[in-house]
Structure 1
Amino acid sequence: MPNENSTAEGSRSMNADGSPLDVGKSQDSRVQHGKKEGLPGAYAPGSPESQPLLNGDRARASHRSIGQNAAEGNLVEEVESLQGRMYKTRQRYHIFVQDSKIVLNTLIGINLVWLVTTFIVDFFFNIGLLHFSNRLTSFNDLCLIFISIVANTLNLWSNKVGLYSRLDQGLNIVLCLMTLFNLFLTLIISYTRRRIGFIGAFTYLWASLTFFAGAVLDWYLYYYFKEFNASSEDYDETPTSEGNSRHTIKEWVSIGVRNSVKCLIFVFYVFFTLNTLLFTIDVGSLTRGVKDVTTEASASYDAFHWVDKEHTYQLHITCYGDLFAKEKDAQPIVLFDHGSLDTAFLSATWIQELYHLNRVDRYCTYERPGYGLSDSAPAPVSIAMVADALTYALVEDAKIKGPFSVVGYDIGGLYAQVFTAKNLDKVESMLLVESWHEDILLKNYLQRLLPPDKDNKDPDDVSNLPVEIKRHNGFKLWWQGIWSTLGIKLQTSWLLAHHGSKERLFGRDLQYQGKFIRSKFLESVTSSLLSYKDVLNGKEKLRDIKLSVASSNQLIKKSPQWGNWQRDLTKLSAKTQEWKILNGGHEVYKYGSARKELQDVLLRLLGDKDRY
């Protein structure tokens, strides 16, 4: 009797018309459809020999099979080998996750300590790292360190294969390059390169390293993502969570939040970079003719001068005329101290006019720390500290010995008083123009430390300051300082108002510079008490100084208290020459008649008899 199996095999080798069946072609066809129907354990549709397993193409072995054939053994070996590879991949992945958590937590801890230290050093108390400190101190360093903390926190939070995102990886690379580009812009100009210091440059490098680390972590996550997906495709079971390319709702939310924050950081960096670029252009155009003078200066010059032997920071000093004239009847050098929201570029134009008219022979102006091209001073800073710095810069570094006739406008009047008290042998006379009274330094001091409250302004209170005398709230200044890193106001100054570089560094747009806002924060919050004491200590020394006072009639009409303060200023010296009431507002240099009257007061103080 013929063998049943051979008969069945023969029947399967014939087509319906009796022609031989191409076995190889038939098997290839079955393999191409992804179903190895000829192999034991594979499910063939309609076959009674095997039953399909749920959710798969493989089938349970036939109940008529005895033992295990070679094909099934190979399949078991492949599965075991695949499981071994997946185990090793998972093991490496978990080690990577643990190591990266340790590194990221360490970086976050370092950033937090650095942030607190920078905040204290830049705004309250200097620890003495002068040779490494940033002489362009503003709010940039704080923002970069804070962004580094945010970026590292996002990296720690999303350090999972299931949260990998190509967008996040691309943003990390772009942000790293943008940070390095900002550092490049800072270093290509001699002025900023000499002042940024090691700490300032390292802050940029640290921020770029943060984004670079994020990109490296994303690369590793992408590597494990591919490994798990490849293993899931080979191993025909339900894919593991690591290798599943589909995300849960929770994962989508996490990815969306992280990418949204990174996009906001990218937008910040766009404005930050534009602000750095604009500052580089402005500084580059205005410092070409400014020299670092350390020996005896020429007669008329524009230079930076050190404020002490330790070379802590430099002041920008500009002088006109023959500063070293030896004639006995030569006019004293007019030394101008600018106001609270301006520099000599705006408020000393009336003196410049007298110089061009040959009525003033020589005069000097300077910018206080944080203003214009002068460096940022270490915290804390007070009026006496600035007066000592100016004395060293003029007398020791620039070799300008005087004598001086000091003119102080607005808050510059307080600086003029302290400078005069410290240099009685070098100062012949003093003119106070719309000068502050020392009581303004402490007026509403506690309110300036608290969040602003508009309800406490009583219009009937005659002691209220005029709006022209601006005392800034610490919280407002801090908020303005953070926004200054974006430079939006400065960008609109040239895009819309078509202002030039001098307006942004010396003029109307100076108030939007981060370096300037920091100096106002120090003046308002940390320096008022020190400066108040400085002014009081110098008052007794001014009794024999020749003094003139010029005040605005408009401000006296607005505030009786302002009139009382101006009257007190006339009593500083027993040799007060005159108290002139000018016909104009607080910015007297803008009013024609007030400007002319003020020029006459100065000429009379200098001893120009032709003006009587």
Structure 2
Amino acid sequence: MATLWRHNACHDEEQNEQQNEPHHNDRQPTHERDEQEDPDEHTRLLPRENPVYLSPDDPAVSPYNLWSIRALRGLSSLFLAISFIWWAFLLVSIFVSPPGMHTRGSGFLCFSYTTLTVAYLVISLLFFSVPSRPMAISAIVLLVLLFVDMCIILGVPRLRVEEGWVGIASVVWATVIALYNILQIRSVAWGKREEEERLTGREETRRPLREWIAVLIESIAMTVLALVSVLFTATLILRARDASLAPPGHQYLVNGDSFQVHLACVGNRSDDTPTVLLEGGEGPVEHTLQPFIDDVARSGAIGRYCYWDRPGFGWSDNAPSPYSAGMAADVLSEALAVAGEEGPWVLVSAGVGGIYSRIFASRHVLEIDGIMLVDSLHEDYLSHVGRPGRGFVLWLRGIFSPLGFDRVAGAIFRGRTREDRVIGRSAYQSGKVIRAKLQENLVAATMTWSEIQTARHVQVAETPLMVVSSGVEVKKSEKWSKAQEGLTKVTRNLQEWDIVNGAPHEVWKTVEGRQLLEKRLRQLVKTGDP
């Protein structure tokens, strides 16, 4: 009886061994193959002593079993840490320029490309073990677009100068990460296939619901990144096109040759009459005051005038942050000196430009023959210019400016020209202009307020003064009306204070406004005659 029991037990063991053997006759059990081959990363990390194949859904079937895949994930984490640190530095540099990190451009481009890089690395780490064909295709598209962006920045001299080493490094780093992610996707897919064949006997072609959801999410995320890169590329192409627009006058290096400003003078010098010096308002001076003053010069009312672009406007570079109105006045003084332009000056300004002109006048008291303020901003409104909410909106606009929603749509559907984007009504969409307005906002209620208070006390009391106000704005706001009256006391030598009925903030846009401004300007220039 015992003999029969031992015989049946042996028979059952033989049947079990036969059932546990692989169906493929030519495949050896794993432990036999491991004994015959040299140890590799498979056997070191997950030795297989049991010849039974695992289920494809077993958690042990993972590319993480390979040390090379683990090392690749660690490298991706390191790249993410480096990119995040760089991203934090660029975020700070928007508000305060660290030494050596100032870019003549807006600073938003390098920040946006680094944000794209960080997002790309986060997505690749979240879905590291779930490589898919849609993700691979999106990664290739992203690499091609970023490579094109890199070529544009390196190939266009103006963009190369504006973005500097900071912008170039950010775009090159984004391109390198895009190439690395393609290699990562291929490596993880290879490791996943290797482990499936080793542990389950075949490559797994089906996906559980969890993986399908992951593939859907990563495909959507990668598609969004690819679309963002398309907009980046389109905006860079427009910027390259705009860079070909030659400025009138010249660009001069200032502030220790850290950036350039644009200055142009029209007409012939005369020892008998002063030169009119224009200061633009909220937009480029070429789109506001300069065309009107040019018509006045052609009529013979004035002999010579000069105008410049404040940093960030027109053909001028952005200045390092923080940047106040007093710093702008010093930069203008330096540019005029480098250009060989000398006074005496009659200052004509509009809007917020009145703040800049008054500070400039207080620092050149012996060279100022007259001041004309055209519906100018009073210092009481600097708290409005420096509102935190306004600064936050400007910052958000700047962050999204490299996408170029308005600029690209305007160029494609509305036929906007490069002149319109650089010095026209669409200039406000430029990252440079947004950065300049953000800089103005950050110091309006502090540094600029202090500078304009000093200017009020320093200004020569006998300097001739003309104030022209918008009738529309005066009727609209009693506060604005009182502020305009306050401007008439900037000096003690008020020549005239005119309120042009029906005229908007840009007074010269009406016939009556143009006629009055030309008349007052003639009187002011004549007053300045020796």
Instruction: Report the TM-score range of the alignment, normalised by the length of the smaller protein.
Output: 0.7 to 0.9
Q: Is residue 2:347 matched to residue 1:421?
A: no
Find the counterpart in structure 1 of residue 67 from structure 2: 95
Residue from 255, 268, 273 that aligns with 2:233: 273
Match of 1:107 among 41, 55, 79: 79
Kept in 2: contact 1:441–1:529 (CA 8 A): no
Match of 1:16 in 2: none
Q: 1:580, 1:601 within 8 Å by CA — same for their partners in 2?
A: no
2:351–2:374 CA contact under 8 A, matched in 1: yes
Quote how far apart the aligned CAs of 1:503 are.
1.1
Q: Is the 8 A contact 1:86 1:231 kept in 2?
A: no
Deviation digits for residues 530-573 of structure 1, max 9, x if unmatched?
11111101111222322111111111111111111111111110
Q: Which is richer in helix?
A: 2
Of 369, 376, 379, the residue aligned with 1:438 is 379
* One-letter code aligned to 1:546: P
Cα distance, 1:230–1:192 mapped onto 2, change above 3 Å: same
Amino acid at match of 1:140: L
C-alpha contact (below 8 Å) 2:193/2:204 kept by paired residues: no
Give the partner amino acid of 2:379.
Answer: E
Q: What secondary structure sits across from 2:116 in the alignment?
A: helix
Partner in structure 2 of residue 574 of structure 1: 492
| Aligned mates of 1:86, 1:170 — CA distance in 2 | 37
> What is the TM-score of this pair, normalised by structure 2?
0.87
1:581 is matched by which residue type in structure 2? I
Partner of 2:133 in structure 1? Answer: 166
Amino acid at match of 1:316: H
Aligned AA for 2:510? Y
- The answer to whether 1:155 aligns with 2:142 is no
Match of 1:590 in 2: 509
CA distance in 1, matches of 2:451, 2:409: 39
Distance 1:444 1:376 in 2: 19
* Deviation by residue 1:328-362 (Cα, 9 ceiling, x = unmatched): 31x21111100113432333221010112222211
1:399 counterpart residue number:
340
One-letter identity of the residue aligned with 1:176: L
What SS class does the counterpart of residue 315 from structure 1 fall into?
Answer: strand
Amino acid at match of 1:146: T
Following superposition of structure 1 onto structure 2, how do residues 442-461 of structure 1 map, counting pairs within 5 Å? Answer: 442-443=383-384, 445=386, 448-450=387-389
| 1:141 paired to 2:110 | yes
Opposite residue 326 of structure 2, the aligned amino acid is A
Q: 1:496-511 counterparts in 2 under 5 A? A: 496-511=413-428
Q: Is 1:603 the equivalent of 2:519?
A: no
Match of 2:458 in 1: 541
Residue 147 (structure 2) aligns with: 180
Take 2:137 and 2:37, find their aligned partners in 1: how far apart are those partners?
30
Point out the more displaced range, 563-572 or 175-184. 175-184
Would the aligned equivalents of 2:105 and 2:162 in 1 still touch at CA under 8 Å?
yes
Once the two structures are TM-superposed, the CA of residue 135 in structure 1 deviates from its matched residue by: 0.6
Where do 1:203-242 residues align within 5 Å? Answer: 203-228=170-195, 230-231=197-198, 235=201
Q: TM-score, normalised by structure 1?
A: 0.75
Once the two structures are TM-superposed, the CA of residue 311 in structure 1 deviates from its matched residue by 0.7
Q: Which amino acid aligns with 2:87?
A: L
Q: Assess if the C-alpha contact under 8 Å between 1:343 and 1:507 holds in 2.
A: no
Deviation of 1:193 after TM superposition, in Å, equals: 2.2
Aligned length in residues? 494
Residues 546 and 577 of structure 1 are in contact (CA less than 8 Å); yes or no, is this contact kept in structure 2?
yes
Using a 3 Å threshold, how does the CA distance of structure 1 residues 186 and 589 change in structure 2: closer, same or farther?
A: farther
Give the CA deviation at 1:87: 7.7
* CA separation of 1:258 and 1:553: change in aligned 2, threshold 3 A: same
- 2:32 pairs with 52, 77, 80, which one? 80
Match of 1:376 among 289, 312, 318: 318
| Equivalent residue, structure 2, for 1:311 | 257
Q: What is the alpha-carbon distance in structure 1 between the residues aligned to residue 219 and residue 252 of structure 2?
A: 48
Aligned partners of 2:252 and 2:262 also within 8 Å: yes
1:560 equivalent to 2:478? Answer yes
- In 2: Cα distance, 1:196 partner to 1:335 partner: 30
Structure 1 residues 190 and 417: alpha-carbon distance in aligned structure 2, compared to 1, 3 A threshold: same
Give 1 or 2 for the bigger CA radius of gyration. Answer: 1
Structure 1 equivalent of residue 299 of structure 2:
357
Contact 1:134 1:196 in 2 (8 A): yes
Distance 2:333 2:78 in 1: 46
Match of 1:244 among 201, 204, 216: 204
Q: Kindly tell me: are residues 609 and 539 of structure 1, through their superposed partners in 2, closer, same or farther at Cα, counting changes over 3 Å?
A: closer
CA distance in 2 between counterparts of 1:114 and 1:51 reads: 61
Aligned equivalents of 1:347 and 1:201: distance in 2?
36
SS at match of 2:425: coil
CA distance in 1, matches of 2:354, 2:383: 16
- Does the C-alpha gap of structure 1 residues 86 and 581 become closer, same or farther in structure 2, counting only changes over 3 Å? farther
Counterpart contact for 2:253–2:260, Cα < 8 Å: yes
Distance 1:400 1:76, change over 3 A: closer
Select the residue among 288, 291, 310 that pairs with 1:346. Answer: 288
